[in-house]
Amino acid sequence: MTQPARPQLVILDDETMLAEMLARSFLSDAALAIAARGVFCVALAGGSTPRAAYALLSSPAYRNALEWERVRFFFGDERCVPPDHPDSNYGMVRQALFAPLNVSETTIFRMRGEDEPSAAAAVYAQTLVRELGPGALFDLVMLGMGPDGHTASLFPGMPPDDGSGDLVQVRLAPLGMRVSQRLTITPQVINAGREVIVATAGAAKAQTLARVIDGMCDPVSYPIQSVRPGSGRLTWLVDRAAAALLRPRP
Ligand code: 6PG
């Protein structure tokens, strides 16, 4: 049985450089997938860190670097709100990427946050199997990490992988977070990805990042630790502020 490849950790000077590296990694993964299979299937992340990369990708500097009609856009998670709600991940990506690039709705597969959550989760799981095959295999899964060690909408306090075999689940965000009900892909889908990139920035993440990277494996407390791609590659893109408490590396 092949051991998962060791995660790659790339430390960038600041959030701007991180967004740039994330945008370039997106384009590089897309080019490889399109050359190999004619299409690039990506699970997009919510949050402010990826948003900066989306804005770069739709900017004049990058917008012509890819055949966007060969990209199939999916989501790693979504808040249970309508698509035009200010907290919608789809709404954020539409504003930063889809609208500026005039992306066809036929290539966007959003989670229906406006529907009854468990029904929406079941529908999205069917969408993943229909579009990606039974293994729901993405070319790239983009993730962020919250200060509590959550990723996508897999939050601390319950096993990120509950052994159900579900591809998509309804999870509750901790009290105090905006929009409690969320839809999320499960670690089974994340870890099937050919490439998984976790982008994390800011001093507020430093203590958690050091615990996650250098500490004991405890996915219930730190769900991001359930991200261990089987045969795919895991890359952490972090800025110096977030990396400040990491053990020195050779
Ligand atoms: C969401 C994201 C969430 C995000 C982290 C980090 O729906 O908000 O999926 O998991 O990636 O909260 O967010 P930042 O990049 O904004 O710190």
Residue 249 included in any domain? no
Question: Does some domain include residue 248?
Answer: no
Does residue 2 fall inside a structural domain? no
> Is the dihedral angle over the CA atoms 41, 76, 89, 224 positive or is it negative?
negative
- pLDDT score recorded for residue 164: 97
Q: Is 46 in the pocket of ligand 1 (CB under 6 A)?
A: yes
Is 197 within a domain?
Answer: yes
Sheet hosting strand 8-12, strand order edge to edge? 8-12, 233-239, 195-200, 140-143, 40-44, 71-75
Amino acid at residue number 236? W
Let me know if residue 250 belongs to a domain.
Answer: no
- C-alpha 1/C-alpha 19 separation (Å) is 35
The CATH number for 77's domain is 3.40.50.1360
Residue 42 pLDDT: 98
Contact 120, 111 (CB under 8 A): yes
For residue 41, the enclosing domain spans 8-239
Nearest ligand 1 atom to the CA of 150 is 10
Is the shortest distance between the CB of 48 and ligand 1 below 6 Å?
yes
CA of 177 to the centre of ligand 1 (A): 11
Amino acid at 120: A
Q: How many helices and strands in the chain, by DSSP H and E?
A: 8, 9
Question: Which mutation among 88, 153, 179 tests ligand 1's pocket best, with the greatest number of atoms within 8 A of CB?
Answer: 153
Q: State residue 5's pLDDT score.
A: 64
pTM (two decimals) = 0.97
Is the four-CA dihedral 131, 132, 133, 136 of positive or negative sign?
negative
Residue 204 structure tokens: 């507020």
* Residue among 7, 6, 3, 2 nearest 198 (CA): 7
Q: Is 223 in the pocket of ligand 1 (CB under 6 A)?
A: no
CA–CA distance, 157 with 184 (Å, rounded to integer): 16
The rounded Å distance from CA 153 to ligand 1 centre is 8
Two tokens, residue 231: 């045969």
pLDDT at 26: 98
Does residue 83 belong to any structural domain of this protein?
yes
| Count of structural domains within the chain | 1
Q: What is the pLDDT along the chain (250 residues), one digit of tens a residue?
A: 455 667 899 999 999 999 999 999 999 999 999 999 999 999 999 999 899 999 999 999 999 999 999 999 999 999 999 999 999 999 999 999 999 999 999 999 999 999 999 999 999 999 999 999 999 999 999 999 999 999 999 999 999 999 999 999 999 999 888 889 999 999 999 999 999 999 999 999 999 999 999 999 999 999 999 999 999 999 999 999 999 999 988 7
User: What is the Å distance from ligand 1's center to 209 Cα?
Assistant: 14
Look at residue 46 and give its three-state secondary structure: coil
The pLDDT of residue 16: 97
Nearest CA to ligand 1 atom 13: 47
- The neighbouring-strand residues paired with 236 are 9, 198
Ligand 1 pocket test: which of 85, 110, 150, 155 has the largest number of ligand atoms within 8 Å of its C-beta? 150
219: tokens are 């996915």
- Whether residue 144 has its Cβ less than 6 Å from ligand 1: yes
Any atom of ligand 1 within 6 Å of the Cβ of 25: no
* In a domain? residue 69: yes
Inter-residue contact 65 to 141 (CB < 8 Å)? no
In a domain, 29, yes or no: yes
Q: How many A from CA of 35 to the centre of ligand 1? A: 30
Q: Please choose, from the candidates 84, 70, 220, 90, the residue with its C-alpha nearest in 3D space to the C-alpha of residue 139.
A: 70
